[in-house]
Structure 1
């Protein structure tokens, strides 16, 4: 049976929380609420020094467990126990981070863990550095619905131009992943197909994950009470049955100028993912210009961050990749555990 980590990725408001709960409802998988310590820990990795040293792993674990920005509390783990296990973990950044997720899976007596954060779709290369055996599930939703939903979120403070850019970036990133990652590493599915026929789509997804399908995945609302924090009221729909009621609702939630802008800026991407255009009127030139400038600024920002990271890779103080799963240990040249060397009984 597989022990590979699983990451749910995509554009925000594309249904990733629903998919998180479906996976968490599987008897072998645990996928927690967003914790927000993985990427910050990666970018700050030089701060922790050589993680092959016990006291360095302790410092990183204490930051994960106690810093207010990390949301470690959402895992509902004992902080002291996590620090102890992190110190005992192999000496790498991924091993310390992975220990928190493994302990979360242990909470539910499950063999595998996952993590859900939509923005990971643009950070898969970093995640593969940390967890080289990871699998990625990219959930795609009609960009017009994503833009409409983003606008309504209390935490979303940007404008419609940024919302359009966010969906375009997720689709472009997915295209690159589709071309470069192995078939057993990257999987893509549409929100509309998943809500239309959950059983069929989840069976195909389980095949990708090398897991048996579990009917409990179809109705994940019970998992919402565990894996969705109560303060996230914008996820209230996850406490009900899977529904298609929001599919295509962009037609009533976007202004005419936003529909025109979406179809102009996202048209090719929408059609490539199987979404039909309505033939909206041509958008105003100033709207197109503003959106293009937003996209260019965001791209420049990503490039600067990527260059800084490539420079930092030349000065890493200790190993990055986790050495917790069978495949991770094999890639790192670490001897397999006894349980992995024992042939299963027939």
Structure 2
């Protein structure tokens, strides 16, 4: 039943439970998903800076950029940096291959063959993930947008307001819907947070079927692996050390203001209903709030469009192939 080497990427709106899902996958005896990295998309966007990776010196520069910079969060992976550098230099001359070597090494640290990554914001870059890793399987976790907004606005690290939080949830759902249509059920799978915490075994069995893996009951107890897969500094993930519980579902009712609830249900009511969430829809949002949200959403759409245009231009001049190759493929020096 097991699949050949296919990377697994977990996406979703921030604060939708993706860390819990990461741990559930990491608890599987054949799968390892690391703490959030900061180098996949940054390396892709900077790929022209590294030049032709067919040249060993350029692969060395890329490897040191991944390993030595604090911004990449490489230190969280518990890997031997020098060994990773050597493997990248000796590996296939593509960007995806270099990135994959790091993720594979993390899985190998736990004696596991399946590897991948988790970062909520990857929902904005699904097409890039598939460029880097053409065989990737995408797993999206969806949570009630009102709970995501409530949780985001309470995070010390979140520097935006509830308008941006709501726009982020809407974008994540729309991006997931596009991914579902373009990739199909063989490469894209959707889970719902509320169902996952209510009946982990059933939802995880369906996920494992998608991944081509056998379900293991350890996946329903993600707290057992939190100590090794969640950096201690991330105190906002303290609940991942506990048993799976339903206590946080629907808490938006007491954590959002009446004005925030009205805005969420006015702006995202159709999306909420389409994904199975009940919406009262009785209250009307303040006109000023609605106008402010529209400006925020328009600004974010413009930023996304600019990113797509930059990528389109860079693809015409990128120095070489980006798709992942297994390290067993010889490097072209």
Correspondent of 2:26 among 19, 24, 29: 24
What residue is the counterpart of 2:104 in the other structure? 102
Q: Is the Cα–Cα contact under 8 Å of residues 14 and 140 in structure 1 kept in the other structure? A: yes
- Any idea what SS the aligned residue of 1:69 has? helix
Correspondent of 1:224 among 207, 226, 229: 226
- The one-character-per-residue Cα deviations of 1:86-132 (angstroms, maximum 9, x if unpaired) are 11110100000100001101100000112000010110000111000
Query: In the alignment, is residue 173 of structure 1 matched against residue 175 of structure 2?
Result: yes
> Could you tell me how far 1:325 is from its partner in structure 2?
7.8
- Any idea what SS the aligned residue of 2:238 has? helix
Q: TM-score, normalised by structure 2?
A: 0.97
What residue is the counterpart of 1:81 in the other structure? 83
Aligned length: 328
Q: Distance in 2 between matches of 1:201 and 1:183?
A: 15
- The one-character-per-residue Cα deviations of 1:34-56 (angstroms, maximum 9, x if unpaired) are 01100000000000000111111
Correspondent of 2:197 among 195, 207, 212: 195
Q: Is the Cα–Cα contact under 8 Å of residues 6 and 136 in structure 1 kept in the other structure? A: yes
Q: Is the Cα–Cα contact under 8 Å of residues 192 and 244 in structure 1 kept in the other structure? A: yes
**Once structures 1 and 2 are overlaid, which stretch shifts more, 316-325 or 70-79?**
316-325
- Aligned 1:245-264 pairs, distance under 5 A: 245-264=247-266
Q: Is the Cα–Cα contact under 8 Å of residues 92 and 327 in structure 2 kept in the other structure? A: no
Q: Is the Cα–Cα contact under 8 Å of residues 32 and 227 in structure 1 kept in the other structure? A: yes
- The one-character-per-residue Cα deviations of 1:292-323 (angstroms, maximum 9, x if unpaired) are 00000000011011101100000011110010
Q: Is the Cα–Cα contact under 8 Å of residues 51 and 57 in structure 1 kept in the other structure? A: yes
What residue is the counterpart of 2:14 in the other structure? 12
- Any idea what SS the aligned residue of 1:123 has? helix
> Could you tell me how far 1:182 is from its partner in structure 2?
2.5
- The one-character-per-residue Cα deviations of 1:239-262 (angstroms, maximum 9, x if unpaired) are 000011000000000011000000
What residue is the counterpart of 2:302 in the other structure? 300
> Could you tell me how far 1:278 is from its partner in structure 2?
2.2
- Any idea what SS the aligned residue of 1:322 has? coil
Q: Distance in 1 between matches of 2:282 and 2:56?
A: 60
Correspondent of 2:209 among 183, 207, 210: 207
> Could you tell me how far 1:237 is from its partner in structure 2?
0.6
- The one-character-per-residue Cα deviations of 1:180-218 (angstroms, maximum 9, x if unpaired) are 112110000100010010000000100000000001000
Q: Distance in 1 between matches of 2:170 and 2:17?
A: 16
Q: Which runs of 5+ in 1 are unaligned?
A: 335-346
Q: Distance in 1 between matches of 2:116 and 2:324?
A: 14
- Any idea what SS the aligned residue of 2:72 has? coil
- Any idea what SS the aligned residue of 2:71 has? coil
Q: Distance in 1 between matches of 2:184 and 2:258?
A: 41
Q: Distance in 2 between matches of 1:138 and 1:325?
A: 28
Correspondent of 1:272 among 262, 267, 274: 274
